[in-house]
Structure 1
């Protein structure tokens, strides 16, 4: 390898998409949640660009689209280039550009991070599985899988629900194939060969159900801060003034989380208020903010 070849390679590296991400490290850090380490975030983002030539080309074609996706991931505190937050190339006006898509692990991470749930269950149902659930009659879905089967068949349903910290259970979301395909059709670039809908179909079914679940459970760290603030106010009100022996007022019941009336279930979606739940590991598996 000649000196000129080495120099050209260094120049491309230093002026490519990776260098731009490094340049905007401080801007990304300003919008990240406190638990995210900027150095780790930037290193992972640069790494995925260097490993995927299509992503690198898309980033060069439209650097603003790259930084927009990374800024979105940074604000959400999700890891880019993973199943928390996909970075995918898509064709826009005849050329590849980067699109950011929140993955199912990202949806679950945001639910856990709010601090209101102890477990989240998201599962797909295939043709060979046995699935029974009747809202108002069944406490929770019954899902039986033959793990010895060589082929469980096509994807048929997907469901999601959460168990709250106080033991209550969120609504149960159940979507059939037609509903998932409707969500897919609304997702930009879902028909592209690069789309996670093409490469990670099962994960995107799960992401769709998890995303619907976010309508019924807290997904913001602001929720936890509000709970802590309310607890502090209650404690201050109960503390008697110096030199008095006034009895403490009874602690009010915890405020319930209200459903957003403007974000109700999609047409035909099955939900229920009080099913029990089977446990899933309490940590969201790290490792796509998403647009639908």
Structure 2
């Protein structure tokens, strides 16, 4: 999809970015995961553009950048214009255009969707909080907050870890201010007034830790690829067995087990209303 192609589409459809998104509904739907509803995705994307004049202008300036960001969100199955996937204007060669940025809720969504974890914990530590964690000695951090204090102080640390479905704790990621600021400096457009680093600093600290956590736990794409590969190998082995004239026997259940094999369970993450803060401990629905 080139800039000229998309620009032509905008001109044909009343020169509006919302109309362009509507026109490319089928293209977006083709790359979405099965759990995402194209109508809902498009409606939310159009709504964000209509509510924010800067975004609408940025989309008008470079329609290809808008569609590129929406395609990225669609492929990941994340909701555009929320803390799952930010749509922000940024200056490029003197004019505004749209940039897509994955948020911390998006990082957590991809972890849950893999189906390997029961909960993901991402939280910031402020100056007046008490935080204790010693790798190799402590399984999980101890974080005490005085909820009665009016001001907990400036952001000091951020941490993230996952509890796997077997009860084990993943690697614990802990980042201090210097490490977060280094990540911010490497983020394109982070100094812009439109950047989520300026408007949603705490959320971006959490996104940085959650993103580091994805290196240590399965995420949607890699985990499901492994599951599909394993299923394909089993299916190929069964076809070979049947072709050889051998009827495979059903395995006997282990003592205390179930007669039915339990396959991978699809993790689900329920999104809050746009703009609403998520809890620090994000639990998938029962």
Q: Shorter-chain TM-score: what band?
A: 0.7 to 0.9
Alpha-carbon distance, 1:231 to partner: 6.8
Contact 2:109 2:268 in 1 (8 A): no
Aligned CA distance change for structure 1 residues 183 and 269 (closer, same or farther; 3 Å): farther
Contact 1:215 1:259 in 2 (8 A): no
Structure 1 alignment gaps of length 5 or more: 287-292
What is the alpha-carbon distance in structure 1 between the residues aligned to residue 266 and residue 243 of structure 2?
61
Alpha-carbon distance, 1:105 to partner: 0.2
Aligned CA distance change for structure 1 residues 125 and 15 (closer, same or farther; 3 Å): same
Aligned CA distance change for structure 1 residues 96 and 257 (closer, same or farther; 3 Å): farther
Aligned CA distance change for structure 1 residues 34 and 263 (closer, same or farther; 3 Å): closer
**Moved runs in structure 1, 4+ residues, more than 2 A?**
1-15, 224-251, 254-275, 277-286
Contact 1:174 1:270 in 2 (8 A): no
Alpha-carbon distance, 1:138 to partner: 1.3
Indicate the SS of the match to 1:121: strand
What is the alpha-carbon distance in structure 2 between the residues aligned to residue 7 and residue 32 of structure 1?
23
What is the alpha-carbon distance in structure 2 between the residues aligned to residue 40 and residue 132 of structure 1?
43
Q: Give TM-score, length-normalised by structure 1.
A: 0.77
Structure 2 alignment gaps of length 5 or more: none
Deviates more, 1:258-267 or 1:133-142: 258-267
Contact 1:124 1:155 in 2 (8 A): yes
What is the alpha-carbon distance in structure 2 between the residues aligned to residue 198 and residue 85 of structure 1?
16
| Cross-structure match for 1:8 | 8
What is the alpha-carbon distance in structure 1 between the residues aligned to residue 11 and residue 271 of structure 2?
58
- How many pairs does the alignment contain? 283
Q: Could you list the per-position Cα deviations for residues 172-194 of structure 1 after superposition, in whole angstroms to 9, with x for gaps in the alignment?
A: 00000000000000001000000
Q: Could you list the per-position Cα deviations for residues 180-233 of structure 1 after superposition, in whole angstroms to 9, with x for gaps in the alignment?
A: 000000001000000000000000000000000000011125524633764796
Alpha-carbon distance, 1:15 to partner: 2.4
Contact 1:105 1:285 in 2 (8 A): no
Alpha-carbon distance, 1:71 to partner: 0.3
Deviates more, 1:5-14 or 1:48-57: 5-14
Contact 1:173 1:271 in 2 (8 A): no
Q: Could you list the per-position Cα deviations for residues 96-122 of structure 1 after superposition, in whole angstroms to 9, with x for gaps in the alignment?
A: 010000000000000000111110000
Contact 1:160 1:174 in 2 (8 A): yes
Deviates more, 1:233-242 or 1:5-14: 5-14
Contact 2:48 2:81 in 1 (8 A): yes
Q: Which has the higher contact order (CA 8 A, sep 6+)?
A: 1
